[in-house]
Chain A
Amino acid sequence: MMNSQGRVTRIAGTGSVAETFTGNKALMLEEPLLFERGAVDRCGVDLDDVPVVQDRLGGLARTAPINLPGLSEPETVRHYTRLSRQNYAIDLGIFPLGSCTMKHNPRLNEKMARLPGFADIHPLQPQPTVQGALQLIDTLATWLKLLTGMPEVAMSPKAGAHGELCGMLAIRAALEARGDARSVVLVPESAHGTNPATAAFCGYAVENIPANARGRVDVEALLARLGPDVAAVMITNPNTCGLFEPDMVAICDAVHAAGGFVYCDGANFNAIVGRVRPGDLGIDAMHINLHKTFSTPHGGGGPGSGPVVFSAALAQFAPLPFVRKTKDGFELVEEAQAKASSDHDHSFGRMVAFHGQMGMFVRALAYMMSHGADGLRQVAEDAVLNANYILASLKDVYTAPFAATGPCMHEALFSDDFLEGTGLTTLDLAKAMIDEGFHPMTMYFPLVVHGAMLVEPTETESRASLDQLIGAMRSIAERMLADPDAWRTSPHLAPRRRLDETAAARKPVLRYTPGRDAA
């Protein structure tokens, strides 16, 4: 209700959430789309005057409008600041996403990545003018090789899945080099979803290997399937059930004996860094998500960085470019010609336009140097300790399918069996956690467990923070079992109630169109 001056005189509305004139709820602000607020002649930058010249655009100058609205600088800052407040983030609280590793992001890393000597250099500057950058890449590569016990590393892959592609291309190149045409890649059910897609992109047929009742690879099924047509096994270790594959050495030996290679998805390296070197297990290639294990902020969807370490058998197949130490400093080898007579003479090619994610390299090295060899070892220990503490503290309420088989690694896995008969699902529980002020755990993954809930606290959570999460999760479960009907409509307190994802997929609206009514 408004008076004649347009002021709200009475809050109208129903229930506990009142309607207001602006749609705002106290400090939670509604924000229209940029396109509903900006204008094509509004501008938030001041630029120099344009010198008068005869244009050289060859008659291709733009005549049609682009229809890009702008905002002044204060309006822009306010638009994005308001939007930012509709996001949950690790800076606000725990992000217990299994398989995603959301840990504290030190601002020192941000400060270092923004040093002009790293942020304001061009990938194609003459190499003598970027010796410090090449030194940084070489130093980071050395850390990665020592931490994994692997002799070679490719730095350029831009993300974990891109690293998988890099590793599998090296495997394919090695097989081609020995004239060995193999057609199949084996992927255990407990592997990440990107693995089958990657194998298919390298031209391989994918066959799944089941998981056993203990949440590990069914080793007998795997060994039985090995043969002269198997190019590689793609295995995630620690796996997506949060468990270490205890037969890893035996698996690698058997795959090698059958003439194949082992690709390890290293997304969960933070669980073993400093305590286990993957090279000692016998794997041939593994990507490392720098953004997970060595903490680059996720930025709401990336970018990440996925360097790949290689065994001696694959080292010479690693991609271009690579950094080489010379008597004068560092050299970046970018060219097929230059690689001849080096130990990379079978490089399979180039993965990206330039040299990889320099910004992430700086952040990762800053994180590694801050922790040191001792601190990184402590990272793995605390990550595993925190996950097992959660497992031990919740397993009497939540169904924990593999708790009886021993400790988990960096993440604890639960199923929704305890909700049977209530009609409630993992999804309802996840949305209830939002109202409790937490980001939900990973849900419905891994696929091998029904109604899976995968909780990864990481090493940067304190015991008090874990106790708070445990308390909330126990309370939600107990209240759900006591009164199931009250829990079908969460969240109530978030910026939005449950969103209709089915409608979004059925009639996709992927851009703003003026005048179209969303509802």
Chain B
Amino acid sequence: MRYLPLTQPDREAMLAVIGAADIDALFIDVPQSARLTAPIAALPLHAPEQTVERALGAMAAKNMTAGTVPFFVGGGAYKHHVPASVDHIIQRGEFLTAYTPYQPEIAQGTLQVLFEFQTQVARLLGMDVANASMYDGSTAMTEAVFMARRVTRRAKALVSAGVHPHYVNVLKTLTQFTDDVVEVGEPALQSGKPGDDIDALMAGIDAETSCVVVQNPNVFGHVADLAPLAQACHAAGALLVVVVTEVVSLGAMMSPGEMGADIVVGEGQSIGNGLNFGGPYLGLFATRDKYVRQMPGRLCGETVDADGKRGFVLTLSTREQHIRREKATSNICTNSGLCALAFSVHMTLLGEKGLRHLASLNHAHAVQLAERLGRIPGVELVTTTFFNEFTLKLPVEARPVVRKLADRGVLGGISLGRLYPGVAALDRGMLVAVTETATDADFDAFEDALDEVLA
């Protein structure tokens, strides 16, 4: 029990100070019927470090890891190279083991990082102001819909067919017992622009619409100009919410803010954070200055101390649950601090020059692979405008193809059948993501394996 410093003589001496006969005397308020008298028998006893390492190492060894095989899986989580110094910095105890900065005088390190993070995110997304992060992209999107309702006092959200279906599921879960109305488009693999329903969305906006939610690049990889949609939203008094699941794309593409978005949310995992089987991830949330007080989540602001020196504090807490209780903008009382730090460090290492270079590399790799795979007989490249992810239409159902590729040691993408179970129109679709980590040898392996599986 190496984590417990008290010795038995310590415990006895402390009980004497307290004036308690034994440890049971301290649990006197627990009903006798609910007290356990011995360690739970079905669980093992304490184990030394090497035993734990061996047991967990055995589980880890059963998984096929992204870094060891040709890897092309995306769909809202991306494999990018994270520089070694990022993990070095986030493992520093003063960042790693610090609490929420409620005592700002001795938390300036964390607070300055959050202030820098907010600035980086706002600039990247093309918005005025960003918060200190959310749980992930999907919960950030749901919070954006709730925020649009508070701003517009309307209850109907139009959601594009191109939004990640898991994100849509989260939104539906959290609105099922409220009177929010969520209308979601039907996805289709139309050639050239899969999942693009911007015309239909523009036609659907009415006086009840609080917001239109659209993802760019969308879940099929397609990228679109959102400026006309933004104009249509604003003409009708609705907000445009833009979701970005691959933030590296913003190094190559016009930002949502430039296209007219009012709220931009995103998944920040791509910068500084590993795949981690789905979490912990980093929700990004940004908006226009005029909506700041309707924003959910934690915010860090600049101020001065008693000597007039610049310093930072958590601020605008009157929006938050510990003060507003049931009238709070959100029940969220945390942020993804360490993931935000990792994002910020990686972004600092990249700088604008590095981010643009990284984005160009991702795009060029994707274009190369899309052209190669599109030439395989029977395979159609459905997406013609994309960043680093595109949709292929296979001559057969994609779900077993993905598994057969894995049997050949290639993690070749995501079948749309997994993302949209039971939707026959999509079951031949395969979503392929390519990042800077892919090599020519990986491309060869993928092309050969797909050729073989489809033959």
Contacts and interface: CB of A to CB of B under 8 A. Distances in A.
A463 B17 CA distance: 12
Given A87-B94, A159-B332, A359-B276, A499 B89 contact: no
B367 A54 contact: yes
A81 interface: yes
15 contacts: A33-B112, A108-B53, A119-B274, A120-B79, A120-B275, A200-B326, A299-B98, A356-B279, A372-B44, A372-B45, A378-B4, A382-B6, A384-B27, A503-B304, A509-B302
A353 B280 contact: no
Contacts of A430: 103
A165 B174 contact: yes
A256 interface: no
Nearest to B90: A299
B260 to A, nearest CB: 13
Given A43-B353, A158-B136, A392-B17, A116 B67 contact: yes
Interface stretch (B181-189, B197-205, B384-392): B384-392
B46 A372 contact: yes
Interface in A92-131: 92, 95, 97, 100, 102-106, 108, 110-112, 114-126, 128-131
B308 A88 contact: no
Given A116-B68, A360-B280, A370-B52, A275 B27 contact: yes
A248 B305 CA distance: 46
A389 B17 contact: yes
A384 B25 CA distance: 11
Contacts of A246: 29-31
A375 B255 CA distance: 52
B178 interface: yes
Contacts, number: 726
A31 B112 CA distance: 9
Given A198-B331, A371-B3, A373-B44, A47 B357 contact: yes
Contact of A200 (B13, B137, B310, B327): B327
A236 to B, nearest CB: 14
A358 B278 CA distance: 7
Nearest to A79: B348
8 closest A-B pairs by beta carbon, nearest first, are A70-B351, A117-B60, A354-B278, A299-B338, A301-B337, A132-B62, A91-B93, A58-B385
Contacts of A86: 106-109, 112
Nearest to A248: B31
A492 to B, nearest CB: 10
B77 A354 contact: yes
Most chain B Cβ neighbours within 10 Å, of A44, A248, A352, A377: A352
Given A50-B360, A463-B6, A510 B129 contact: yes
B406 to A, nearest CB: 5
Interface residues of A, number: 210
Given A63-B254, A244-B27, 12 more contacts: A50-B361, A122-B73, A126-B402, A133-B59, A303-B334, A359-B279, A389-B17, A463-B5, A496-B309, A498-B105, A501-B315, A509-B303
Given A377-B39, A434-B106, A518 B250 contact: no
Contacts of B105: 431, 434, 491, 494-499
A416 interface: no
Nearest to B2: A370
B45 A35 contact: no
Contacts of A146: 40, 42-43
Contacts of B15: 385
A122 B275 contact: yes
B23 to A, nearest CB: 5
B314 to A, nearest CB: 8
A111 B87 CA distance: 12
Contacts of B47: 369-370, 372
Contact of A497 (B94, B96, B225, B305): B305
A123 B278 contact: yes
Interface string B206-225: 00000000000000000111
Contacts of A495: 105-106, 108
A121 B275 CA distance: 6
B335 interface: yes
Given A146-B42, A201-B331, A370-B52, A406 B28 contact: yes
A320 B36 CA distance: 32
B228 interface: no
Interface in B51-84: 51-53, 55-68, 71, 73, 75-77, 79, 83
B52 A348 contact: no
A203 interface: yes
Given A508-B301, A510-B299, A276 B177 contact: no
Contact of A66 (B63, B107, B123): B123
Contact of B85 (A54, A76, A128, A248): A76
B364 A53 contact: yes
Contact of B332 (A102, A131, A161, A334): A161
Interface residues of B, number: 213
A359 to B, nearest CB: 5
Nearest to B420: A335
A190 to B, nearest CB: 14
A476 interface: no
Nearest to B245: A353
B155 interface: no
A346 interface: no
Contacts of A511: 115, 118-119, 122, 128-130
Contact of B386 (A56, A97, A504): A56
Contacts of B41: 373
Given A298-B98, A371-B3, A71 B411 contact: no
B177 A169 contact: yes
B170 A88 contact: no
B351 A358 contact: no
Interface stretch (A2-10, A454-462, A477-485): A454-462
A38 interface: yes
B237 interface: no
B351 A42 contact: yes
A270 to B, nearest CB: 12
A62 B253 contact: yes
A497 B306 contact: yes
A498 B310 CA distance: 11
Nearest to B95: A84
A300 B337 contact: yes
Contacts of A58: 223-225, 384-385
Contacts of B298: 301
A519 to B, nearest CB: 5
Contact of A392 (B18, B65, B225): B18
Nearest to B100: A301
A352 B339 CA distance: 17
A407 interface: yes
B351 A117 contact: no
B64 A125 contact: yes
A350 B355 contact: no
B240 to A, nearest CB: 16
Contacts of A374: 1, 39, 45-46
Contact of A193 (B178, B258, B301, B322): B322
B145 interface: no
Interface string B368-379: 101000000000
Given A243-B29, A355-B278, A388-B20, A83 B56 contact: no
A42 B353 contact: yes
Contacts of B56: 112, 115, 136, 362, 365-366, 369
B4 A512 contact: no
Interface string A173-203: 0001000000000000000011011111111
A381 interface: yes
Given A121-B66, A385-B6, A494-B105, A67 B26 contact: no
Contacts of A351: 170, 173
A381 B353 CA distance: 55
A515 interface: no
A121 to B, nearest CB: 5
B116 interface: yes
